[in-house]
């Protein structure tokens, strides 16, 4: 029996252990989570909450990065405003579901569930998953929409598992399981067609007579005269308000990010329209801890030009200070208040991403009269919308000004914009430093996302990556930021980010080196996919330096870039190699140096013999970077390799890879 066969056998064993140790394992994962705030006291009993607040429809969501939450809230809002239902919309993490089986049978539940990692439920949904696995819910009627990404092996697996468990619990699915696919970029349209069909089917179960189609606010908006120490000027939490003496949180999490100094930043390469930034956060005076292979979450804010364009489009008064009060006590504020209009646009709302058809539909009510009919028809026509708006890569302001030929949309109420736009979310990066070698800094390697809109001539850009570039340029030569297409107010709210700082938190990831240093590792990471492998190698170099590395296994890194100009950390690798004493080998695929394109999967083929040998010794495989093409191509290559080596079919080799994934022997960190 060789190493690969052992892998399959041990996969079965590990699967059994995972099953038996489910509770312990989940606890372990939970202890590493972004935010552990599940409260299960009697006061948040779901049935009691429904009764106390006179609700007749329940929407529950399990969200990892906020997308499922966003869709759940939109669905709840539509049921409320269009059909007059009294909807309770809650995160499964924050409610006690033990009594769900006692929910009156006329109340329907709509679930929105994201899939995270290797087909897992979101971190905050551990108790929910456990509850479903043993629940008896024969009176429950529900709808279900999953949010996933087809590029992952376990596409929408959490929603599929929920469906299986709900079926076994005897609950009744209304309509069909909806599957949103972020990999194809179709989540919005998947949701809209699922919603249309589901609402049709729901008619047969509850009274859904359309009361009104117009916008109905969920919050009472009031204006405030003066800025005080309690006014939010971009602070993400009350921790940093003057009224709290700008006291940083002691426990850093997604709900309490830490404004962290940037010690060092530089441009790794620059070619026309392409930049890559290396940023180092200094965590020495913080309670932030990370492990090699973890993710850092960076909280961005919008560029000056984009904020100004948005305010002009809607004729908004930037300095107006406003407060929001939920009209329904079960609803939370979308962002901290009181605050100013400009602050909300700069720090709290996503204003530059692609436009959704539903957003246009909501705003169409307030379109300038001459174009109103056209805007309404465009928002109802999937194909025309795709061609006229999505394909043109417009943000909301671009799209509306294009439709109105430059005329401001001054009739749109501010409350409507607040409720229609998404809330700004942090962006995740694979940490490129090592926790043992770099305990006081976290390194990020980010490619700057940049494009010029062909129609407006204005830049279409990534919010965070351009912010990081702006900071990097400013740190090295303040005048050089002029070359950027946009500028950011990098001093932050009340100069909180002055001296180059940004709010961050850590998300722990299962993407980890084996603790047994003798296990060989095969790493595949083209482009910025090399980020965690720089961390892995620095980790191993540190182990050698501290004498912990007798009998270290072989390390092969397959890296890909266009040519020598965009070769990331080119000067560092030879040094690592010499310190690792021949155990580390880097194989580089340069895709644009000859007529024949060469990618990492070609290099894998060339080194098939060595790879098979390492796999038979029980090597771990790690893949990081592009999920859409690269990770699939790499998996196909390795599958073919195993199939040839073992003389088995591609299907059987695919099953072996699946087993390796379950076993942690084949790990992916792809996006």
Residues that bind ligand FAD in the complex, under the rule CB under 6 A: 295, 300, 352-354, 393-395, 427-430, 445-447, 449, 451, 460-465, 528, 531, 671
Contacts of 265-273 spanning 24+ positions with Cβ under 8 A: 265/468, 265/471, 265/472, 265/475, 265/476, 265/500, 266/472, 266/476, 267/469, 267/472, 267/473, 268/445, 268/568, 268/569, 269/565, 269/566, 269/567, 269/568, 271/565, 271/566, 273/450, 273/451
Taking the least distance from each CB to ligand FAD, the nearer of 58 and 296 is: 296
Taking the least distance from each CB to ligand FAD, the nearer of 294 and 342 is: 294
Quote the least distance from Cβ 407 to ligand FAD, whole Å: 21
Quote the least distance from Cβ 651 to ligand FAD, whole Å: 30
SS3 458: coil
Quote the least distance from Cβ 185 to ligand FAD, whole Å: 9
Taking the least distance from each CB to ligand FAD, the nearer of 180 and 520 is: 180
Taking the least distance from each CB to ligand FAD, the nearer of 362 and 444 is: 444
Two tokens at 193?
A: 């067609």
| Phi, psi angle pair for 638, to nearest 5° | -70, -35
Taking the least distance from each CB to ligand FAD, the nearer of 93 and 294 is: 294
Taking the least distance from each CB to ligand FAD, the nearer of 218 and 302 is: 302
Q: Which residue has the tokens 């399990």?
A: 62
Quote the least distance from Cβ 323 to ligand FAD, whole Å: 28
Taking the least distance from each CB to ligand FAD, the nearer of 433 and 601 is: 433
| Phi, psi angle pair for 578, to nearest 5° | -70, -35
Two tokens at 639?
A: 């599958």
- What is the 8-class DSSP label of residue 32? T
Quote the least distance from Cβ 637 to ligand FAD, whole Å: 22
Quote the least distance from Cβ 290 to ligand FAD, whole Å: 14
Quote the least distance from Cβ 449 to ligand FAD, whole Å: 3
Quote the least distance from Cβ 32 to ligand FAD, whole Å: 15
- Nearest residue relative to ligand FAD (C-beta): 462
Quote the least distance from Cβ 527 to ligand FAD, whole Å: 8
3-state SS of 402-432? HHCCCCCCCCCCHHHHHHHCCECCCEEEECC
* Contact predicate 623/667, CB 8 Å: yes
Taking the least distance from each CB to ligand FAD, the nearer of 427 and 500 is: 427
Taking the least distance from each CB to ligand FAD, the nearer of 305 and 652 is: 305
- Measure Cα distances from 604 to 174, 473, 586, 596 in Å: 47, 37, 12, 16
Closest CA to 361 of 334, 330, 400: 400
Two tokens at 421?
A: 């736009």
d(CA 169, CA 434): 45
Taking the least distance from each CB to ligand FAD, the nearer of 93 and 668 is: 668
Contacts of 64-67 spanning 24+ positions with Cβ under 8 A: 64/114, 64/116, 64/122, 64/123, 64/124, 65/114, 65/425, 65/428, 66/422, 66/423, 66/425, 67/114, 67/147, 67/182, 67/187
* Contact predicate 407/368, CB 8 Å: yes
Two tokens at 470?
A: 């702006």
SS3 511: coil
Quote the least distance from Cβ 430 to ligand FAD, whole Å: 4
Taking the least distance from each CB to ligand FAD, the nearer of 303 and 316 is: 303
Quote the least distance from Cβ 342 to ligand FAD, whole Å: 19
Q: Which residue has the tokens 């990020």?
A: 444
């Amino acid at each position: 029996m060789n190493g690969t066969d052992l892998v399959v056998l041990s996969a079965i064993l590990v699967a059994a252990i995972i099953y038996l140790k489910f509770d312990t394992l989940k606890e372990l994962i939970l202890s590493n989570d972004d935010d552990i705030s599940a409260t299960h006291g009697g006061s948040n009993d779901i049935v009691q909450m429904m009764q106390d607040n006179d609700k007749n429809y329940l929407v529950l969501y399990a969200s990892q990065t906020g997308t499922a939450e966003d869709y759940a809230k939109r669905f709840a809002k539509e049921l409320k405003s269009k059909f007059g239902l009294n909807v309770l919309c809650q995160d499964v993490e924050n409610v006690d579901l033990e009594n769900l089986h006692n929910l009156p049978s006329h109340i329907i539940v709509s679930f929105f569930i994201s899939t995270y990692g290797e087909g897992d439920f979101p971190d905050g949904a551990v108790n929910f998953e456990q509850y479903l696995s043993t629940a008896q819910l024969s009176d429950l009627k529900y709808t279900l929409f999953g949010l996933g990404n087809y590029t992952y092996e376990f596409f929408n697996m959490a929603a599929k598992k929920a469906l299986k468990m709900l079926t076994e619990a005897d609950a009744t699915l209304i309509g069909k399981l909806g599957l949103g696919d972020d990999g194809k970029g179709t989540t919005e349209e998947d949701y809209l067609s699922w919603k249309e069909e589901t609402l049709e089917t729901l008619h047969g179960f509850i009274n859904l007579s359309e009361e009104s189609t117009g916008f109905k606010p969920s919050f009472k908006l009031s204006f405030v005269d003066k800025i005080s120490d309690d006014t939010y000027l971009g602070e993400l939490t009350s921790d940093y308000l003057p009224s709290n003496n700008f006291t940083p949180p002691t426990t850093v999490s997604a709900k309490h990010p830490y404004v962290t100094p940037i010690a060092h930043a530089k441009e790794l390469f620059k070619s026309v329209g392409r930049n890559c930034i290396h940023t180092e956060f200094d965590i020495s005076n913080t309670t932030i801890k990370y492990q090699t292979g973890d993710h850092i979450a960076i909280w961005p804010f919008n560029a000056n030009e984009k904020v100004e364009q948005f305010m002009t489009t809607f004729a908004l008064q930037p300095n107006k200070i406003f407060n929001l009060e939920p009209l329904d006590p079960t609803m939370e504020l979308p962002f901290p208040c009181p605050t100013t209009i400009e602050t909300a646009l700069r720090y709290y709302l996503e204003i530059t991403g692609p436009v959704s058809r539903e957003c246009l539909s909501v705003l169409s009510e307030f379109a300038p009269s001459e174009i109103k009919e056209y805007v309404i028809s465009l928002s109802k026509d999937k194909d025309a919308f795709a061609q006229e708006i999505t394909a043109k890569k417009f943000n909301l302001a671009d799209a509306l000004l294009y439709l109105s030929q430059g005329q401001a949309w001054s009739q749109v109420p501010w409350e409507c914009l607040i409720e229609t736009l998404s809330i700004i979310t942090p962006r995740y990066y694979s940490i490129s430093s090592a926790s043992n070698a770099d305990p006081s800094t976290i390194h990020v390697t980010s490619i700057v996302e940049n494009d010029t809109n062909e129609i407006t001539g204005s830049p279409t850009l990534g919010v965070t990556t351009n912010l990081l570039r702006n900071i990097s340029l400013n740190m090295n030569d303040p005048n050089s930021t002029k070359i950027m297409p946009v500028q950011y107010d990098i001093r932050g709210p009340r100069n909180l980010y002055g001296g180059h700082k940004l709010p961050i938190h850590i998300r722990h990831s299962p993407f980890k080196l084996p603790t047994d240093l003798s296990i060989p590792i095969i790493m595949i990471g083209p482009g910025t996919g090399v980020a965690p492998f720089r961390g892995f190698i620095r980790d191993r170099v540190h182990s050698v330096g501290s004498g912990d590395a007798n009998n270290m296994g072989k390390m092969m890194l397959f890296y890909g870039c266009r040519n020598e100009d965009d070769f990331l950390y080119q000067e560092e690798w030879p040094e690592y190699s010499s310190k690792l004493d021949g155990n580390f080998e880097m194989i580089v695929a340069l895709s644009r140096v000859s007529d024949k394109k060469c990618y990492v999967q070609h290099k894998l083929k060339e080194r098939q013999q060595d790879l098979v040998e390492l796999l038979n010794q029980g090597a771990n495989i790690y893949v990081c970077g592009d999920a859409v093409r690269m990770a699939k191509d790499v998996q196909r290559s390795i599958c073919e390799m195993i199939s040839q080596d073992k003389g088995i079919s591609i299907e059987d080799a695919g099953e072996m890879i699946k087993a390796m994934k379950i076993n942690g022997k084949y790990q992916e960190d792809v996006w």
